[in-house]
Amino acid sequence: METEIRALKSAKNAVVLVHNYQPVAIQALGDVVGDSLELAVKAKETRAELLVVCGVRFMAETAKILNPERKVIMPIKDAGCPLADFLTPDLLLEAKERYPDAAVVVYVNSTAEVKALADITCTSANAVSVVRSLPNDTILFGPDANLAAYVQREVPEKTIIPVPPYGHCYVHAGFTLADVEAARKKGGMIVCHPECPPEVLEQADLIASTGGMLRNAAGTDEPWSVFTERELVARLRMLYPGRVFYEKPEAVCADMKKITLADLRRALEHEEHEVVLPLEVMDRARRAIERMLAVGR
């Protein structure tokens, strides 16, 4: 199967972009494996004719928005992000009306229609820098209220308003103070994704995006308790053999696990499922994404 996939990739001049939460068998076939920001940067740079995004819908939409002329496909049509679904265009428009002077920062974990209403997007890797880059004192920030609270903690001079106030990722919201206590007993560092709840982040020794975790792991020999989706821990173990990493077995993003090798092969062979978005939505969303890419990490 792997050989067939590699042959199809080169025959079709395709690039396969894989998120860090994908099953390791899919990661092994990626031309790029990374966090949301790294995937967006690579999607912008690539000259490939066909982009295959192994992740969830918002990642494939971001790649399409940055490559309106190219074909972007996702092997599983209904691989979504429940966090993205918390923020509808109507909710955001209502908040914009209520706070006309606020800047609108939208997490990339959002729909293309919502990105089209944003001044700028951000990822977990650059949310703080993006907010600091803006002249506005008040920021509407959605859909992740935990990430909004983290940014508020790091940028106390601004007022961050979460839209909606209850948006969250069920995988990261599942980390609790009981997990912190258990991790402290094991020893070593507690490393958290910023989508974790504020009371958990307060206890973290390091807060980072998935890509940030992979990079920072190079700088220490200590055991890590990793508070994010469990596949990231498999990747850490692969990159740093001999090191001790603890995962939470229940921390699984179901949508990230929908893609199998057979799905990837079929997607490449039949060039499906194509991401199609209205041009006008893409044009407006692209402005917000490119503004973020200019800020960097």
Q: 257-296: which residues touch ligand SF4 (CB under 6 A)? A: none
Give the nearer residue to ligand SF4 in terms of CB position, either 27 or 109: 109
Among 15, 169, 201, 288, binds ligand 13P (CB under 6 A): 169
Least Å distance, CB 85 to ligand SF4, is: 9
Q: 195-214: which residues touch ligand 13P (CB under 6 A)? A: 195, 209-210
Give the nearer residue to ligand 13P in terms of CB position, either 158 or 172: 172
Q: Which residues contact 126 (CB under 8 A, 6 or more apart)?
A: 37, 292, 295, 296, 297
* Partner residues linked to 294 by β-bridges: none
Among 15, 20, 62, 180, binds ligand 13P (CB under 6 A): 20
Task: Say how far apart CA 6 and CA 28 lie, in whole Å.
Answer: 11
Q: Which does 87 bind (CB under 5 to 8 A by kind): ligand SF4, ligand 13P, none?
A: none
Reference 192, options 206, 177, 171; nearest CA is 206
Reference 147, options 189, 99, 185, 196; nearest CA is 196
Choices 22-30, 42-50, 117-125, 240-248; region in contact with ligand 13P by CB under 6 A? 117-125
Q: Which does 82 bind (CB under 5 to 8 A by kind): ligand 13P, ligand SF4, none?
A: ligand SF4
The backbone torsions φ and ψ at residue 159, rounded to the nearest 5 degrees and listed phi first, read: -105, 120
- Is residue 171 a contact residue for ligand SF4 (CB under 6 A)? yes
Q: Which does 209 bind (CB under 5 to 8 A by kind): ligand SF4, ligand 13P, none?
A: ligand 13P
Sheet holding 189-192, edge to edge: 206-207, 189-192, 224-227, 245-246
Among 12, 32, 82, 243, binds ligand SF4 (CB under 6 A): 82
The backbone torsions φ and ψ at residue 274, rounded to the nearest 5 degrees and listed phi first, read: -70, 140
- Angle between helices 279-295 and 57-66 in degrees, nearest 10: 90
- Is residue 110 a contact residue for ligand SF4 (CB under 6 A)? no
Q: In angstroms, what CA-CA distances link 291 with 56, 65, 126, 284?
A: 22, 13, 12, 11
Which residues form the interface with ligand SF4 (CB under 6 A)?
56, 81-83, 109, 169, 171, 229, 253, 255-256
